[in-house]
Structure 1
Amino acid sequence: MRSFIIITVLSALAACYGAAVLPSEDEMVTIIYDDKSPNGIIMSRADFDARSQGWVLLSEANDLIPAVEGQVQSIRMVYRA
């Protein structure tokens, strides 16, 4: 019984640690809205960088958005053509 409790506690700690680790910037996604996908398409950072080569920056904004209490979320809006 004692080993079962230890295994359960260790499993719970591993799950909490996995949920608490923030993703790196490479793992984040970007949502693209354009004439081909008006509802948005989700792209990885690498796919977005490859697609946006040669675009000209029109505007850029970094804002904090309302989040769950105790958490901070930010959004980066970039307009390119």
Structure 2
Amino acid sequence: MTDTGRQSFTDKASSAVKPDSQKSTTEQASDKAKGMYDSIASSAQPESQKSTGQQVGDSVNSNSNENSGSLADKAKDLFGMNDK
């Protein structure tokens, strides 16, 4: 079960299974945007308002490199404004 506006674990898994080399440019951009939005939402939403499943998923994801960086950097990445 997902919290409102958050990506489901099934969506994340199905996106991760298909290699980027087999995805269209649109699919790659969509995956990146969804991931960035979910990462920002994860950081912004208080733990007390998350479902148990979402808390576990966020805990696992917080250890990945995808979630490193400030909220400002995440927002810049989402809109392609980061100079990385």
Interval containing the TM-score (normalised by the shorter chain): under 0.3
Higher relative contact order (CA 8 A, sep 6+): 2
TM-score with structure 1 setting the length: 0.28
Structure with a larger share of its residues in strand: 1
TM-score with structure 2 setting the length: 0.27
Structure with a larger share of its residues in helix: 2
